[in-house]
Amino acid sequence: MNAVKLRVICAVVLCVIFVVGLFAGTVSPYPYAKQFRERPNAAPSSTHLLGTDSLGRDLFARLIYGTRVSLLLAPTAALLATLLAGILGGFAGFVGGWCEKVILAAADLSMALPLLFVLLALRAVLPLDISPVLSVIATFTLLGLLGWPSSLRVVWAATKNLRNSDFLLLARATGCGRSRIVVRHLFPNLRPVLFAQFWISIPVFVLTEATLSMLGLGVIEPLPSWGNLLRGLEDISAVSANPWRLTPLVLLILVVICFQLILPAQEETA
């Protein structure tokens, strides 16, 4: 199988999972918080495709809703991080001088800070007993606000290359204004780089959210996300008796691998 076919397959898999997550309300047989108290820890059946958890909630419904939370909000956080990196990195690369030095120093400092420690610190500032929806917003906003430094370096380097290119020199020589250069020449050439950075950030944020939620500092129950669904793995006896509890993990691995396999195509375009 050649690389192009593999990428097409990965794109189709991602699209299917994304669409299922998007229409979770229609696809899911039950609401994610509905309890079947007479059937806790039920085995897979025609009524509960993946069985139920210890509280009697349908695992298939929770998986679909969890997919919506993780797969729709990770790209949003990635978009925020890429936007920040694009604006700051583009500005630093294009303007140069002391602005460039200050922005790069800030990026270097941010890269020296361990992401998970900083996320824990910032999450600790917020109250722990916030509503589930607020916990989702807080988690992914923090990811977006802290995920920009590595992308910034790439955008800055690309902008610097473009600034010294012949076509921008020509544009300047013909009297093009700064805003026209940015909008008509710089941004279209930076687009593939920004897109690649956006694409790289998504699986990173999905995995970070999973770790935070597993530690009880991410998305709060009863709202499901892949992270808090994976908390079910802590109960070894339940997992060994009911191996289908590993489904969220299998889905997470599949999605991250698909993102990684599609990635080279983006890098080539970048």
Partner 1 sequence: MLAAVCLTGGLLSASLVRFSPGYGVDEQELDSRLSQASVEAIRNSHRMNGGLLSYYGHYLAGAMHGDLGSSQWLQRPISSLIKERFPLTAKSALLGVSLAWLVALMISLAGVFFRGFYFDVSTTLLSGVLIALPAAVVAIFSVYLRAPVFVAIAVVLFPKLFRYLRNLLNHAYCQPYILAARGRGISQSRILFHHVLPLVSPALSALLGVSLAVAFGAAIPIEALCDSPGVGQLAWQAALNRDLPLIMNLTLLVTLITVGANMLANVVHERAL
Using the minimum distance from each CB to partner 1, give the nearer residue, 35 or 150. Answer: 150
Tell the smallest beta-carbon distance from residue 207 to partner 1 (Å). Answer: 5
157, containing H or E segment: helix 149-163
Min CB(77)–partner 1 separation in Å: 16
Angle in degrees, 0-180, between the axes of helices 59-95 and 132-146, rounded to the nearest 10? 30
Is 147 a binding residue for partner 1 by CB under 8 A? The answer is: no
**38's tokens:** 């007479």
Closest to 32 measured CA to CA, from 249, 234, 228, 255:
228
| Binds partner 1 by CB under 8 A, chosen from 46, 117, 175, 179 | 117
**If we measure between CA atoms, which residue out of 148, 113, 111, 132 comes closest to residue 213?**
132
Apex 49 CA angle, 45 and 52, nearest 5: 85
> By CB under 8 A, is residue 3 in contact with partner 1?
no
217 lines the binding site for partner 1 (CB under 8 A):
yes
Please say whether the beta carbons of 84 and 141 come within 8 A.
no
* Backbone phi, psi, residue 35, to 5°: -105, 140
Our CB check for partner 1 shows the closer of 1 and 4 to be: 1
Alpha carbon of residue 98 to chain centroid: 32
Q: Which of 8, 12, 124, 134 binds partner 1 (CB under 8 A)?
A: 124
Q: Is 236 in the site for partner 1 (CB under 8 A)?
A: yes
Stretch that binds partner 1, among 26-34, 74-82, 130-138, 208-216 (CB under 8 A): 208-216
In the complex, which residues of this chain contact partner 1 (CB under 8 A)?
105, 109, 112-118, 120-125, 127-128, 203, 207-208, 210-211, 214-217, 227, 230, 233-234, 236, 249, 252-253, 256-257, 260
